[in-house]
């Protein structure tokens, strides 16, 4: 008995594209960060779907690691956003241009 995974992969693609659109279209740093989380979740969904398809645990372990890395990333990223907001009073990514060449 094999799990049918095409619908899950389709949903994962749609969510990933929505996340990419969020990163490209929004200018608010927190919303960009949330879109990155959405992309991570879409990738997790396809990992679990393929793990279920092959009947293997490895995919689920990778999802576990992705969740742990996402937690670390969110903690550091939000701390950076707060630090930037305190110095510049804005988290609009268009305002952050002191590193441009």
19, with CB counted inside 10 A (0-12, 13-18, 19+), is: buried
Residue 83 contacts another protein per CB under 8 A: yes
Q: Given candidates 9, 63, 96, 101, which one binds another protein under the rule CB under 8 A?
A: 63
Q: How near is the Cβ of 95 to another protein at its closest, in Å?
A: 12
DSSP, res 11:
H
**Residue whose C-alpha is closest to residue 18's, from 49, 43, 48:** 43
Write out the residues near another protein by the rule CB under 8 A: 1-4, 7-8, 11, 14-15, 18-19, 21-22, 25-28, 30-31, 33-35, 37-38, 41, 44-45, 48-49, 51-58, 60-61, 63-65, 67-76, 78-83, 85-87, 89-92
């Amino acid at each position: 008995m094999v799990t049918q995974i095409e619908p899950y992969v389709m949903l994962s693609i749609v969510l990933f594209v929505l996340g990419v659109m969020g990163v490209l279209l929004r200018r608010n740093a927190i919303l960009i960060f949330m879109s990155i989380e959405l992309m991570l979740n879409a990738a997790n969904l396809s990992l679990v779907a393929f793990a279920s398809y092959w009947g293997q645990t490895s995919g689920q372990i990778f999802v576990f690691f992705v969740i742990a890395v996402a937690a670390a990333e969110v903690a550091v990223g939000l701390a950076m956003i707060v630090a930037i907001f305190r110095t510049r009073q804005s988290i609009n990514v268009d305002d952050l241009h002191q590193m441009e060449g």
